Structure 1
């Protein structure tokens, strides 16, 4: 039987990981941001496309997009005067790692 591997995080590393997880989970907890992520799941969209599907004021949509950028869930690319938004390449991984049981699941997979 393989010996289980136990990974200990320093208090500082654990606090940093908890803060990062909280940032990601807080970002997706809002219905507007969840709708934006859902739309971006189908590909890249400019703000005008998002505005047509998410019925909030333009300044409020900009705020929600900033929260998603700050959480590392979306990326931007400037196209002339337009800004295109896309899910970050590691967005799915960041979401999975933000879940409280993700660490235990990884340790279990490594031990198997």
Structure 2
């Protein structure tokens, strides 16, 4: 469940929030987050591996944006996991 790992960090959630308004250069993300380049790279790898974010290189910088297919997949997973109507009967051992 790489998608959920991507959502389990405050910095990654802030990155996702910044990317909601459109593509951002890594340099812009660094300015907003006040983290090191290596820390940003670590978080971006997790986000890209999850499929929620995509990056493209231009010169020495990478530009990141939300990947619609990955976001749709994350929404679908969350809906399925929280859909109590599809849960079926309870295997309650106590009665």
Tell whether 2:39 aligns with 1:24. no
| CA drift at 1:55 | 1.6
Rounded Cα–Cα distance in structure 2 between residues aligned with 1:74 and 1:40: 9
Number of aligned residues: 84
Unmatched 5+ residue regions in structure 1? 1-21, 106-112
TM-score by length of 1: 0.68
* In the alignment, structure 1 residue 57 sits paired with structure 2 residue 36: yes
TM-score (norm 2): 0.79
User: Runs (4+) of structure 1 moved beyond 2 Å?
Assistant: none
Select the structure with the greater relative contact order (CA < 8 A; seq sep ≥ 6). 1
Paired with 1:35 and 1:85, the residues of 2 have a C-alpha distance of: 13
CA RMSD, aligned part only?
Answer: 1.8
